[in-house]
């Protein structure tokens, strides 16, 4: 079985400050890991994914995440927050290849203060 | 990137009626689609896996007769909420996997979601 835990349901950052969203996973097999962003009343957009290649993954909009097997973590970061980064972020895990069904974390809502 | 479209985006219905939500992959074929349910300020919960040409696979606790899924073609899956009640009010999101570009950790493409309100 697989599971995802996102620490912190809400994160508030100042514009220009570092954004750090934490994600820890549990998986019985080498995982595929994803970060998605959701804006109000919309579907999910893929930010980045880890698929057993490089452990440091760069995504869209300046986000990146690092896979740390020893810590079972896949934290998401962005060096400088923009107002447009205010949204809900979901970490997800998939066991195996080719888009098997995803298990999502509880989500973290990011608020960016001017 | 690939586009998945859901229709309708918003629907309001009376208690006891049935509502159909469509999920279409517009520029790719999808043998597998997934239906999720999202309550306000919560995460997405997988309801079922929709397979083209065969019966859907439902997650534990999801009523098959309540949430009817049909995947009649490689580009269309439908979710019908039968005899809807207020507790069925939710945001329903579908996702689809590109059959031809499934690769390792193949990306799932998500629809815009459909908000159902049952009065």
- Smallest Cβ distance to A46: which of B34, B43, B107? B107
B11 close contact with A: CB closer than 8 A: no
Question: What does the buried/exposed string (b/e) look like for B2-20 if buried means 16 or more CB atoms within 10 Å of the residue's CB?
Answer: eebebeeeebebeeeeebe
Residues B53, B109 contacting (CB under 8 angstroms): no
Length of chain B: 119
Residue-wise DSSP of B34-72: EEEEE-TTS-EEEEEEEETTS--EEPTT--TTTEEEEEE
B32 close contact with A: CB closer than 8 A: yes
Give contacts of B34 with chain A, Cβ < 8 Å.
101-102
For B65, the 3-state DSSP assignment is: coil
For A61, the 3-state DSSP assignment is: helix
Q: Identify the DSSP state of A48.
A: E
- Indicate yes or no: CB of A99 within 8 angstroms of CB of B93: no
Per-residue pLDDT reduced to its tens digit, B53-89: 889 999 999 999 999 999 989 999 999 999 999 999 9
Write the burial class of residue B66 (CB in 10 Å: 0-12 exposed, 13-18 middle, 19+ buried): middle
Give contacts of A51 with chain B, Cβ < 8 Å.
104-105
B93 close contact with A: CB closer than 8 A: yes
- Indicate yes or no: CB of A105 within 8 angstroms of CB of B104: no
A51 close contact with B: CB closer than 8 A: yes
Region of poorest pLDDT, from A8-22, A37-51, B47-61, B97-111: B97-111
Q: What is the 3-state secondary structure (H, E, C) of B8-39?
A: CCEEEECCCCCEEEEEEECCCCCCEEEEEEEC
CA-nearest of B18, B19, B42, B46 to B110 is B46
- B-proximal residues of A, 63-102, CB under 8 Å: 90, 94, 97-99, 101-102
Q: What's the number of CA atoms in the CB half-sphere (13 Å) around residue B118?
A: 17
Least Cα separation, residue A6 to chain B (angstroms): 11
Least Cα separation, residue B42 to chain A (angstroms): 6
Phi-psi region of B53 (alpha: psi -120 to 50; beta: other; left: phi over 0): left
- Cis peptide upstream of residue B8 (ω within 30 degrees of 0): yes
Task: Please tell me the predicted confidence (pLDDT) of residue A97.
Answer: 55
Per-residue pLDDT reduced to its tens digit, B21-62: 999 999 888 888 999 999 888 889 999 999 888 899 999 999
Cβ contacts of B63 within 8 Å, gap of 6 or more: none
> Structure tokens of A37?
């962003």
CA-nearest of B116, B104, B103, B98 to B47 is B116
B115 close contact with A: CB closer than 8 A: yes
Q: Work out the pLDDT band at A102, boundaries 50, 70, 90.
A: confident
- Indicate yes or no: CB of B105 within 8 angstroms of CB of A50: yes
Distance CA B40, CA A88 (A): 12
Give, in order, the Cα–Cα distances in Å from B12 to each of B7, B43, B67, B107.
Answer: 13, 22, 17, 32
B43 close contact with A: CB closer than 8 A: yes
- Is residue A2 over pLDDT 50? yes
Least Cα separation, residue B14 to chain A (angstroms): 22
Q: Work out the pLDDT band at B104, boundaries 50, 70, 90.
A: very low
> Structure tokens of A91?
């970490």
């Amino acid at each position: 079985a697989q599971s995802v835990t996102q620490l912190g349901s809400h994160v508030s950052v100042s514009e220009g400050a570092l954004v750090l969203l934490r994600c820890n996973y549990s998986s019985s097999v080498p995982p595929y890991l994803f970060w998605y962003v959701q804006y109000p009343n919309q579907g999910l957009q893929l930010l980045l994914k880890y698929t057993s290649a490089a452990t440091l993954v760069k995504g869209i909009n300046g986000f990146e995440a690092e896979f740390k097997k020893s810590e079972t973590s896949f934290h998401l970061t962005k060096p400088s927050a923009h107002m447009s980064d205010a949204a809900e972020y979901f970490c997800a895990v998939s066991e195996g290849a080719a888009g098997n069904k995803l298990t999502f974390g509880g989500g973290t809502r990011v608020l960016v203060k001017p | 990137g690939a586009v998945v479209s859901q229709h309708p985006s918003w629907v309001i219905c009376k208690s006891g009626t049935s509502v159909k939500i469509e999920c279409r992959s517009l520029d790719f074929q999808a043998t597998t689609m997934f239906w999720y349910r999202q309550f306000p300020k919560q995460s997405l919960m997988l309801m079922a896996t929709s397979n083209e040409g065969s019966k859907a696979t439902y997650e534990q606790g999801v009523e098959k007769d309540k949430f009817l899924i049909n995947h009649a073609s490689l580009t269309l899956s439908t979710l019908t909420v039968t005899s809807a009640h207020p507790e069925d009010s939710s945001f329903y999101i579908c996702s689809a996997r590109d059959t031809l570009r499934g690769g390792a950790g193949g990306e799932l493409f998500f629809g815009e979601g459909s908000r159902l309100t049952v009065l």
